[in-house]
Each structure stands twice: as C-alpha cells, then as structure tokens.
Amino acid sequence: MEKTLYGFIIKYSLRQQVIITLLSVASFVPYYYYLSIPKSIVNEGIQGKDVSFPVDLYGLGLWPMDQTTYLFWLCGVFLFLVLVQQGFKYAINYFQGVAGERMLRRMRYELYAHILRFPLPTFRRTSQGEIIPMVIAEVEPVGGFIGESFALPIFQGGMLLVIFGFLLLQNPLMAFAAVALYPIQFYFVPKMQAKVRALGRERIKNQRRLSDRIGESISGVTELHTHDVSNRMLAEFTGRLSISYWIRVEIYQRKFMIKFLNNFIQQLGPFFFYAIGGYLTIRGQMDVGTVVAAVNAHKEMASPWKELLNHYQQREDVKQKYEQVVTQFVQEGMRDPADQWAEPEQPVSLAGPISVSSLVMNDDQGQPILDNLNLSLPWPARVAIVGDNGRDELLQLLARLQDPTRGRIAINEKNLMELPEAVTGRRLAYVSASSYIFNTSLGDNLFMGLRHRPLIARERQDELQARFEKEILEAHASGNSPYDADADWTDYEAAGASGPDELIMVTIPALKAASFDEDVYQLGMRGTVDPKLKPDVAERVLAARRAFREKLTNGSLADLVEGWDPVRYNNNATVAENLMFGTARNGVYQEDNLARDPHVLRVLDEVGLRRRFLEIGYEVAGTMVELFADLPPEHEFFQQFSFISSEDLPDYKDLLTRTKPETLEQLPEEDRVRLMSLPFKLVLARHRLGHFTDAERDAVLKARKIFADTLPEDRKGAIAFFDPEQFTISSSVVDNILFGRVAYGQAQAQEKIGRVMADVVEQLKLREPIIAVGLLFEVGIAGARLNAAQRQKLAIARALVKRPDWIMLSEATAALDPRSHAAVVKSIAELRKGAGLIWSLQRASDCESFDIVVVVENGRVTHTGPYAELCERSDRFKKMLAPS
C-alpha cells in the first residue's frame, strides 16, 4: 500500500478526481447567476426600478412582458438555476460517493490481502480484536473522505469565492464584514478540533482493547466459569468502559464548544448586514434588492465555510488514521503479493528428496528455536519426528508456512523460499493439533485444498449474465479479485477424479485413512435430501425402505419398528405426528406451535378434542409436577420420561396452583396454550399415563384426515405427508428408510435395527450417496458442531484429499483416544506408501510404521535412521521408547 493517503488517492483515483473537479468548476458560473437573480426579482420584478414595461427580452418584439409576467419570468429563471445548481451537486455527490466506495473497497481488499501474507508470528502478537475493527470500521471514514479529497475543497472553496466576489461587487464593506471573523474561526477551531481528534484516537485504541477482551472472553468462557472469574472480568471491563465514557464526555464538551463558536460567529453576519445595509439603504446609498441579495448570499456562505472547516478536520484525522493502519499492516517478513497470485508456467513437482542445510530459526525475541539444523530425507519416505521443542516449527518451515532466519530448504532440488504459494499450497500439506475448521459445510472444508482457481465457468442467463459482467467491471475498477466466486473451483484431476461424479468415490480412501468415513456416514444418515435435486438418491433410499421393511417382515424383528400407516395410530409416535401424519417443513407446524395454530384448533373443535386436550394438558402437567418436582435437574428421568424441562416445571407448578379443572376455559390464552401443548408431545407407548384413551386415539385418526383435506392453500407446502411410495422431503435419510418409529421397550432395538439398516445400505451400494449427504452438514463456527476428534479427522482428510507430494502432520491426532490414534497413524502410513509423509509424534512407540525416524533435540537433529536401527544403536531413542 502507498505510505501516504494522498499518494494512495492519486495512484488509484486520479481520473475520477479530475472529473469531479471539472464538474465543480463548471458549477460556479450558474451559481453566480443563482446568487444575483434575487436582486433582479426584488428591484426589477417587484419594485419595477430601472426597467420599462413592457419588457422586450431579446429586442425582437416577439414576447413583450408586463410587470407581472416579467416577475414570473424572473422567478422561473431562479427556479431553473436552482435545478441546475442542485443537478451539479447531485452529480458531484454521486461521483464522490462512487469514487469513495470504490477506493474503500480497494483498501479493504488490500488490507485483507495483507492479512493473508502476514508472517505467522504476527498473529501471536496481534489479536483478531485489533485487526478486524481496522479493516471493517476504522477505514470507513477514509473511504468517505477519498471521494471528496480534491473536489470538496475546490467546490466549496470556489463557491465561497463566488459568494465573496458577488458581495464585493454589491458593496465591499459588507463583503469584508461577512468574512471578518472567519480568520478567528480558522485559527481557534482547528486547534480545538486537534484535541478532539487526539481524544478520538485514544477512544479507538480503547475500543480495540474492548474488542480484544470480548473476543478472549468468548474463546475462554469455559475457563472463566471453571475458575469463577466472571466478576473479575466484569470489573476489568467496567474499567475499560469508564475510560471510554470519560473520553466521550470530554469529546462532547469540546465538540459542542466548537459548534457554539461556529454558530455564534455565523449569526454575526446577518447583524452586520442588517445594520450596515439598513443604514446605507436609509441614506439612499443602497437599494433593498441589494440588501436582500447580500443577506441571501451570506446565508449561502455558511454551508461551504462549514464544509471547508469539517473537511480540514476530517483530512487531518483521516491522514493519521490511514498512516496508522498502513503502519499496522506492513509487517516485517511479509510475503510478496506475487507469492499469492503467481502461477508457474509449467507444473512444478515436489515429489523428491528434502535437503535442509544450516537452518536457523529465531523466535520474536531473537532466541534460537532451531539452531544450525541439517537434515536429508530421501524420496519417497515416511518420516517420523520425535524429540523436544522445535519439531512443529521445523514442519512449518518444510510446509513453507514460515520462513527461516537463515539457511536453505530444498525439495526435489527446488529452493522452497523461491516457490509461490501456487506450488507450495498444492504440493505440500500441513496439519496441526489446532487446524482450523471454517464455518461452512463439511464438504467445503474437505475440498478446500482442491480450490485454487476457477476452472469451470458458471452459466448465467441474460439479466444475471449482464449483472455479473457489471460486477466484474467494478471489481477491476476497484482493484479487487477478477475471479468468479460462484464458478466451479474444484480441481478434480488433483484429487484423482475425472469430474464431480467421481469425487466422492476417490475421497473415501482419505476419509477411511483418517477414520472419518463412519462419522460422515452417520451425519449423512441424519441429513436430508431434496428429491428434486437428487432424484436418483431419493429413489435409492425408497428402494432401501422397501428392502428394510422386507427384512423386518421376513425375520423375527417385525416388532422392532411400528411403521406409518394412514389408517392406524402409531403408538410410538407423538400425538402431533399422528395428527399431521407428516413432518413440518418450516416453523408453522412445529410441535410447540400447534396449540396456537388456528387450523389445528378448528380441526380439534370439529372432532371434539379441543376441550379434551385442555383437560389432558392439565392432568399431564399435574402428573409431571408430582413425579419430577423433587428430582434434581440433572436426573436421568428428565431425559427419559419428562417432556417438561426442569426449567419450566416451576412455571407449570405455579399454573396448577391457581387453576381448577372447571375454570380451564377462563385461563388467559397463553396459559391455555401451555397446557394444550402438552398432549401433542405424548407418546402412548412411552408415556403410559392413562390420560389418552382409545376414544381419543380414534378422534385423532379422524382429525388426521380432516387436517390434510382442509389444509389452507397457503399452508400446502408446510407439511411433508407420509406416503409409503414417496420420499419424505423434510425427514432424514434414516427416517425415510425406517418409515416409522422404533418400538419403545424392545431390548437392544436400536442396535438390531442399525445392523439390518447397515446390511441394506451395503446391499444397495447406498453408502457413498449417504456420505455425499453427510458432506452437506454445516459444521458451525470453527467447526463447533463437530467434536474435537472429528475436527482433527476432518483436517487430516482435507490434507490427504488433495494428494500432496509431501504431507506434514504435527500432533495431528492429539484429540483422539490412544486406540484411534494408533489406527490413524497406521492407516495413513499405509496410504502414503510410495509418497512423502512427515509426522511429528508425541510417542516414540508410534514410529514403527515409518521408514525413517528423526530425533530432534535442542533445535538440532541428533539421530536419523530406520526404527529398528535406532532401537539398537541409540540410547536416547531407547529412553524415549521406555514407558514413563
């Protein structure tokens, strides 16, 4: 980025600034006539001075005007000049806004690009709470200023000169009276504003610290609760808020004093005009029209003068803010921009030996982490690294995530420091114990390493294509990325696939090696499929439903599942599911909303259940309160049997104490809804409370038909009804195959059903499509919807999928249990046979599956060789193998 604000402006927006400046200058001529026309209206149009009627405007006798017509003509000219002047202002403001937004967009893009090139140690010194506000909030005023940086002082200063010139022509004394106090303003106001700006900078610094503390509190909320330090954190936060408060108070004091001074001086102008102009008019030395025009002109003078003062204040503030941001974002050791976007002319392979010579890496205090380290690794090789500090830093250097202080790293005889990210980011992979998972789908995270450049353009029609072309032009004008984010970026060839259809198939070995395939499969079973987008998958799930039902019917497992039958009540499903005989596709028919839905209430009225549901709700609430009132909230019975949470139980207890069965209809609507919601949650096979009789079940079956037949037109898509021959769009894959509910109380029902379903999935070769559904799972912020082990497995699979020449793993399975860890180490070592693998391991006993073992001690390589050889000749390695 340019070091100075105006250097940045001139380099990237000179053309726009010239256009805006020319428009500003062009507006001065009509503006002068706009100031002078009121004088003609008063003197000539109203008073008829110095003019003979009828007036012949052009001396051709075509349109003689009497005084009234002439007055309206002058007023029309005044209105036209107003439109012209406002038109100029509109054009200038519009182009200023566009130029400012374009430059703001460029600035944010460049700052973000800088972040992507920051050396890794930067993020240990600078927190997100400091960086993010600078990119998002703090540069916002800079963008607004850039659009007007040249045009505003020229436009507003020019207007001020036009007004002053006009007043000078009317009466020099009044002209100088109008600007007599401006020097005072110009001297004092900037000095006061400088203090306000200094306070503003202090406020921004404090706001950054506040952001940083909030971010730390969110990340470390578990520790805060664990150690009971919430009050301490609140006290510290109060101190920060106090600093901001007093800064703001002082800013208000000074800012409003500036405002007072400006307004007072501005109002002195009319005083001089009325006094001097009135005196001269009385003496016959000035006419009324001139006084009116002068007062009007001085009124116009207030706006440009105020704008100029504000511009001066903003300029100094923005210049400092820009320089502050630039200083913060220009870090020592940053990569060259070309490192991000440069593409090699020919594909570069790193499938070759690694040579590390005289490698030195210092920490941010200048102390060596790696000291004169030398290492040679053959190709192909599966390498295990064990030892003490420096292992992770060595792997980061080999993956070119950090640069060494001194020394050379060559892979396949290519100097690693000279290779762009297009080579190192594709041919190398690195996984740590804390690899980040992005807030998107599981598949997007998994295939991230395959998406480097857009490869297949997205097809757009007519209006969408025109809009896209406009977006690309604007991206070019703003110096942003020209790439289409909606194109297909996936490099299928890099994964070993010929196209999208093969991608899942070639991905499964990587998922298996990371022991992640079963996790993704289970997520897919719980996921949903849109039959319009995936008709083939929906058909195969229906085939699995039929095969599953056949296996249950022909075996001894028929009683494990109670299927959905249009004419039968399902005792293992809730009353709500039995009534709707389908699943809700949006929030309208969610279980908690049924008791207030007008259509549901009409149906219950028609079958005589509305009053009965209120009574059952009252009875069920009483039973729940009686059974669970004395149990602690964490008791397992709450999970197994109660559909009133421990938090809601006191509210229901209070409701029962002020209610009697005969007064249920007089309850407030919200209380009636709460009671009526309970029967909808009843599962008769599970909640054997005796409140729901055969008569009520028959009424629900009757209500089921009425509910579907009378469903309002605008609710037709709100329910996905159960149909044995149709895929239920809002149900999960497992529920579509099951097409019913697991019978309650059957021993090991879930395990037996799971085995049968797994057989059906394998038989119909449905596992791969289900894994594809699992890849659509949204993982949440930082992968929060996955557990720690799943996040690490995903990170490993992500690295394996892109098939790098060398893959470096550093404590990459720290969250796995010992058995899973051993299995993953073994399977990845097997998968990477014939390729490059370097794994930093905590336990020396895990090295047996590797070709070479490297021992790092005190920042140097002390032992290198096969596992069996080190076991024989290295006493240090033997000690590492010994159980602690």
- Lowest mean pLDDT across 326-330, 376-380, 534-538, 800-804: 326-330
Separation between Cα atoms, residue 193 and residue 687, nearest integer Å: 72
Q: Please give the pLDDT value at position 146.
A: 86
pLDDT score of 107 more than 70: yes
Q: Please give the pLDDT value at position 116.
A: 85
How many CA atoms lie within 13 Å of 373's alpha carbon, on the beta-carbon side? 34
How many CA atoms lie within 13 Å of 602's alpha carbon, on the beta-carbon side? 10
Exposed/middle/buried for residue 587 (C-beta within 10 Å: 0-12, 13-18, 19+): exposed
pLDDT score of 527 more than 90: yes
**At residue 462, what is the residue type?**
D
Work out the number of other CB atoms within 10 angstroms of the CB of residue 400. Answer: 21
Percent of the chain residues topping a pLDDT of 90: 33
- Residue 496 confidence class, pLDDT cut points 50, 70, 90: very high
- Those residues whose C-beta lies under 8 Å from the C-beta of residue 815, and which sit 6 or more positions away, are 433, 787, 788, 789, 791, 792
pLDDT score of 312 more than 80: no
**Average pLDDT for 529-537:** 90
Which of 419, 504, 492, 488 lies closest to 450 in space, CA to CA?
A: 492
Q: Is residue 283 left, alpha or beta, with left meaning phi > 0 and alpha meaning psi from -120 to 50? A: alpha
C-alpha pair distances (Å), 247 with each of 133, 211, 707, 879? 19, 17, 63, 61
pLDDT score of 423 more than 90: yes
User: How does DSSP classify residue 402?
Assistant: S
User: How does DSSP classify residue 571?
Assistant: T
- Residue 559 confidence class, pLDDT cut points 50, 70, 90: confident
Q: Please give the pLDDT value at position 654.
A: 85
Q: Please give the pLDDT value at position 876.
A: 82
Separation between Cα atoms, residue 340 and residue 113, nearest integer Å: 9
Instruction: Provide the 3-class DSSP secondary structure of residue 739.
Output: coil
Output the DSSP codes for 174-243: HHHHHHTTHHHHHHHHHHHHHHHHHHHHHHHHHHHHHHHHHHHHHHTHHHHHHTT-HHHHHHHHHHHHHH
Q: Please give the pLDDT value at position 501.
A: 87
Cβ 322 vs Cβ 5: under 8 Å: yes
Model pLDDT for residues 316-356, shown as the tens digit of each residue: 778 877 887 888 788 777 888 888 888 888 889 999 999 99
**Average pLDDT for 52-63:** 70
Separation between Cα atoms, residue 74 and residue 66, nearest integer Å: 12
Separation between Cα atoms, residue 317 and residue 140, nearest integer Å: 12
- Residue 662 confidence class, pLDDT cut points 50, 70, 90: confident
Separation between Cα atoms, residue 4 and residue 1, nearest integer Å: 9
Bond prior to 54 in cis (omega within 30° of 0): yes
- Alpha carbon of residue 320 to chain centroid: 29
Model pLDDT for residues 701-720, shown as the tens digit of each residue: 999 999 999 999 888 888 99
Separation between Cα atoms, residue 516 and residue 528, nearest integer Å: 20
Domains in the chain, start-ordered, CATH in brackets? 5-329 (1.20.1560.10), 354-441+804-881 (3.40.50.300), 585-716 (no CATH)
pTM of the model: 0.80
**Average pLDDT for 298-327:** 76
């992500």: which residue's tokens? 798
Model pLDDT for residues 581-605, shown as the tens digit of each residue: 999 887 778 888 899 899 999 999 9
Cβ 806 vs Cβ 776: under 8 Å: no
pLDDT score of 853 more than 90: yes
Instruction: Provide the 3-class DSSP secondary structure of residue 453.
Output: strand
Separation between Cα atoms, residue 407 and residue 513, nearest integer Å: 35
Q: Please give the pLDDT value at position 557.
A: 78
Q: Please give the pLDDT value at position 214.
A: 80
Which of 388, 392, 362, 357 lies closest to 373 in space, CA to CA?
A: 357
Q: Is residue 366 left, alpha or beta, with left meaning phi > 0 and alpha meaning psi from -120 to 50? A: left
List the structure tokens of 306: 């105020």
**Average pLDDT for 14-31:** 89
For the chain, the average pLDDT equals 85
């929906």: which residue's tokens? 538
Separation between Cα atoms, residue 358 and residue 363, nearest integer Å: 17
């942003």: which residue's tokens? 480
Cβ 454 vs Cβ 489: under 8 Å: yes
Q: Please give the pLDDT value at position 845.
A: 83
Q: Please give the pLDDT value at position 60.
A: 58
List the structure tokens of 212: 């940083």
Q: Please give the pLDDT value at position 74.
A: 87
Model pLDDT for residues 604-654, shown as the tens digit of each residue: 999 999 999 998 888 888 888 877 776 666 666 655 556 677 777 788 888
Identify the bridge partners of residue 561 per DSSP, sorted by sequence position. 742
């996040």: which residue's tokens? 791
CB environment 47-71: b (16+ within 10 A), e (fewer): eeeeeeeebeeeeeeeeebebeebb
Model pLDDT for residues 385-422, shown as the tens digit of each residue: 998 888 899 999 999 998 999 999 999 999 999 999 99
Cβ 620 vs Cβ 636: under 8 Å: no
Q: What are phi and psi of 402, to 5 degrees?
A: -130, 160
Q: Please give the pLDDT value at position 514.
A: 95
Return the CA Rg of the chain: 39
- Cα four-point dihedral sign 16, 19, 22, 27: negative
- Residue 879 confidence class, pLDDT cut points 50, 70, 90: confident
- Alpha carbon of residue 280 to chain centroid: 67
Q: Please give the pLDDT value at position 749.
A: 85
Model pLDDT for residues 758-786, shown as the tens digit of each residue: 999 999 999 999 999 999 999 998 899 99
